[in-house]
Structure 1
Amino acid sequence: MTGTTGTTRLALALAAAGAYSAFPSAWYHLVQEQTGSRWTAAVLFAAHGVAQVAAMTVVARPRTAARASGAATGRVVAALLLLDTAGALLLVAAPAPGGFALLLAGRVVTGLALGALTPLATAGLARHPRGTAVATAAVLGAVGAGALLAGGLAAAGWTRPAVLGVGLVLLPAAAVLVRRVEVAGVVGAVGASSPVAVSSAVRVQAATLPALLAFACTGVLGLFSSTLPGVVAALAGGAATVAGATTGLVMLSAGGARLLLGGLPARRVHALALAAAVAGAAGEAVALHAGHLAGALASAALLGAAAGVGFDAALRAAAPRGLTALARTQRGGQLGLVLPVLAYPVVVA
C-alpha cells in the first residue's frame, strides 16, 4: 500500500505512539510528591528519552537501516507498536499514586518502541511533499494532544490506570492500520540525492548541524513536557489538568506551527520563529515571577511554536541523506529532551 493512503496511515501510527508517550505526564508531579524526591519526575521523563536515544542509535546504523526500511516499513512499525503496548501494560499495572518502579519500567519499554518507530516513520513521510512538516506534527503535535487528552480524562474523574489503559486499545489499532503500508526506496546510510564524493568536513557538518538544531529545539520542549508543567500548575493550586494543558499547548504549538506557516518562504518562517522565541522566553519569565497563569501558558505556546519550526528545519536538512541521517538527527533531539530535564533539578536546587 503506497501513496496518500499509506502516508496517512503511517502518520496516524506515528501520532498514536507519540500521543500515548505523553499520557503519564499529567501525573509526574503527583508521583514526585508521593516519593518526596525532586528527581522523580526528571528520572521518569529522562528514562523514556534515554531509551529512545538507544533505539535511535541502533536504527542509525547503516546495516540496521537497510534491513528495517523499504517495503518492510509497515510491518516493522506495527511490531514496534505492539512492543509499545507491552510497555503500556506495565504503566497500567503501576499502583497509584506512586508505583514508581513499574512506571519506570513501562517508560523504558515504550521509549524503546517509540525511539525505533520515529525515524522509520519519518523517513517514509519525508518522501512526500511537506512530509517533514507532517512528521513534525505527528511527532510533536501528537504529544500535545496526548497530554491534553490525559489531563481532560483525569479532570473528568478517570483514574490513572484507566487513562493509561486507553493505550491498550489505541496502540494495537494503529498496528493493524499500518502493518500493510509499504514505502519503496527508503534508504539507509545516505539519501539518493546525496553526492557520492564530498569532503569529510562537509560530511561532518551535514551530519552534525541538524542534530545540534534538533537538540536546541527539543531542549525547550523537554522542560515544558516534564518539570515546568508542575511549576505552571502550582499557579493554579497544583491541578493535574493545568499540568497536562501546559504540556499540551506547548507540544501542539510545536507540531502545528510549521503546517500553519506552510505557504510562507522559509526565511520569513524562520524570522517569525525567532521573534516567537524571544517573546516567549521574556513573557514566561515575567509571568512566572508575577504568578500570572494565562501569561505563562501563552508564552509557553510561543516557545513551543518556535521550537517546532526549528525541529522541522532540522528534519528538512537531514531528510535528503536518508534514514541514518534522520535517526541521528532525531537522536540529537532526544538528547535535547533528556539532558536539560536532568539538569533542571540541579539548577533549581
Structure 2
Amino acid sequence: MQQSQLLIALWDGEPSVAKDGTQEIVSFAGGIGRPVIWIHSKTGAIQILNEPALKRIQQTHDQELNFLNGLSDMGETLLTDSPAELARAWLQKLDKNASRFAPQVRRLSSIPIMYTAAAAFSSGAGLQMPHSKVWLGIGTALGITAAAIPIVLRLSQRQTRWARTRTAAEVCRSVLALWDSPDEYQVIGPEIIPELAGALRSLKLLRALDGSRSEMALDEFKRRYRLERISQQLQYFSTHAVQSGSEARNYRIASCLCIGLAILISMWLFVDGKELAIAHSFVGKRGLAVAVSALFQLATISGAFLIVKDCKRRQWRYRELHNCLKEWDSELSALRTWTTVMNVTCRVERALLVELLEWRFLVRNVKLTRK
C-alpha cells in the first residue's frame, strides 16, 4: 500500500470481521494520505475518499514520459493493439528518434573545431599576407564564432535530447528481450534511473496485461534470446569496435600531422616576425599575432584529442562487451533451469545497460523541458 498512489476498494461498508480486512486497509490508506475509490459491493455506488489527494495525483505530470510520448512517430503504424505490439511500436519510435538525433550531435560537435582551425590559419596568414589586419580580424571573428556555435546551436540540449531518447529505447529493448520469461522484469528499476519510473511502470503494466503471453519452454526462450538479443549485440559490438578503432587511428594520424605542422609554422613565424620586428621597430605586434595563432591551434588540437580519446574509449568498451557476451552465450547454451538462465540473462541486460549510468548523470544535470 505504501508504494501505491491509489486504492480501489470493492467493499460493502460493513466492519471487518477478521483482522486486516477491507475496513482496516481503507482506513490505513486514508491515514497515510492515499486517495480511495470506494465501490459499494451491494449498491454499486462510487465514493471518493480523500479527494484532495486524488486531485494532486491528477495534477502530477511525468515530464520524461510526456517528452518521450511527444516524439515523432517516424511513420510507425500499429498492426494490432496488443500490449506486446504497443511496446514494440514504442521501441521502434524511440530507436528511430535516437538514431536521428545522434548523427546531428556528432556532425554539429565537429563544427566548432573546424572554425577554430580556420581561425588559426587566418591568424597565422596575417603575419605574411598583405592587409594583415584584415586577416587577423577574420581569424578573431572565426574564433568568436567557434566559441558561440555550441550556444547558438544548443549542442548541449541536443546531446541531452539524444541521451534521454537512447536511454529510454535501450530500457524498452531490455524489457522486450525478457518479455516471455516467467519472472518479473528486475534488471533495472526506478531506483537506478528515477527519470524513467513512469516508462518502466507502463512497460510492466503492458506486460502484465498481455493475455497472449504464454509460458514459453525454456529451450525456446534460450534459442530466441541468444538469436535475437545476444547474436545481434555481438555483431553490433564487433562492427563498431573495428569502426571506432579505425576512426581513432585516422584521427590520431591527422592530429599528429597537424601538431607537427602547427609547431613548425609557429616557430617559423615567430623567428621571422622577430627578425622583422628588429629591422622595422615593429616590437611585440608580430609576437602577439603568433600567440593568437598558437592559441587557436592548441584549441583545435585539444578538440581533436578529445575525439581520439572518445573513439578509443568506445573501441575498448565494445571489445570488452563483445568478449563478455561470448562467454555468457556459452553459459546459456549449457544451462537447464529457469533460475540459472534468468541469472545469466539479467547479467547480460545489466551489462548492456551499463552506459545508462553515464547518460543518467547527463540528463539529471540538465533541467527538463516543460511544455
- TM-score above 0.5, yes or no: no
Between 1 and 2, higher relative CO (CA 8 Å, sep ≥ 6) is seen in 1
Report which of the two structures shows the higher radius of gyration computed on alpha carbons: 2
Question: With structure 1 as the length reference, what TM-score do the two structures score?
Answer: 0.29
